[in-house]
Chain A
Amino acid sequence: MTATAEMIVPSFDDEKETDRTLAIICSKGSLDMAYPGLILGNAALGEGVDVHLFFTFWGFDIITKGRMEHLKFSPVGNPAAHMPAALAPLPGMTTMATHMMNKSLNELDIPPVPEFLELLKASGAKIWACRLSADMNHLDESDLFDGLDGIINASDFIELTEGAQLLFI
């Protein structure tokens, strides 16, 4: 232990005018692939980083009102589910695996998807829906998460996130 009379003040980098931006493209709609984007986005916001999330293709389910609460986790084709490959496709296995994953998340106080989106929004995230995915699914803004910032196309997103660090999930 070293004694020092001077007060150590952590650097919160307030003075640093950071223009760090993180762009996260969420393209998968299964429960296990939805959370990484949401969690990383939330972590970045908590560090003062600007975050843009773009939901596209299967990831569209994450922001679709009728589906966001029912995302599923399937052990099929996923060796990391630690289940014999022959058992994974059995009836009821996806329901069971989904239930278990939701239970573990809940125990760790990780919010369900709709509440997680609210949390991101309240923390300042920009949430974008993909135009093509909306058209393919015949959905409009009324079908999507209320805090949505808009339905935009891929070029808009690329333009919006100029200079950003990008994550494709």
Chain B
Amino acid sequence: MATTVINGKEVVVDDEGFMTQYDQWDEAIGQALATAIGVDMTDEHWKVVNFLREDFKEKGETPTIRRVSTAGGVDTKKLFQLFPKKPAKKMSYIAGLPKPHGCV
């Protein structure tokens, strides 16, 4: 665990840089995290990130790619376009959440 400054705010992150405190996140931080990993945020990206945030709040865990498509309404193909190569990790990073546990 370490603290780091993202967008002028001090936040707690794990060894890899994933935020660990749900409430420390805001949209400006999400934007800064996306920029840091080279993702250009569009409305579609925000739809995914907002779903992740809401679902985490409700379920207590980061939704998997499959859940984002079945419950969040953004299909898998699209997720690979929005967050190239490693969608599950990238979207959870931007949403300030831990990586998903689920295998599928």
In the complex, identify which listed stretch (A7-15, A74-82, A87-95, A150-158) lies at the interface while the others stay far away: A7-15
Cβ contact within 8 Å between A8 and B4: yes
In the complex, identify which listed stretch (A51-59, A117-125, A138-146, A159-167) lies at the interface while the others stay far away: A117-125
State the main secondary structure of chain B at its contact with A: mixed
* A135 interface contact, C-beta 8 A: no
Partner of B85, one of A1, A14, A110, A119: A14
Chain A: residues with Cβ within 8 Å of the partner, total of: 27
Cβ contact within 8 Å between B66 and A46: no
State the main secondary structure of chain A at its contact with B: loop
Kindly report which residue of chain B lies nearest to residue A8, judged by CB atoms: B17
Residues on B with beta carbons closer than 8 Å to the beta carbon of A109: 64, 66-67, 102, 104
Query: Which A residues are within 8 Å of any B CB, using their own CB?
Result: 1-10, 12, 14, 39, 42-43, 46-48, 108-111, 116, 119, 122-124
Not counting A8-B17, A119-B66, A122-B76, a sample of 4 additional A-B residue pairs whose C-beta atoms are within 8 angstroms of each other reads A1-B3, A6-B4, A116-B104, A119-B76
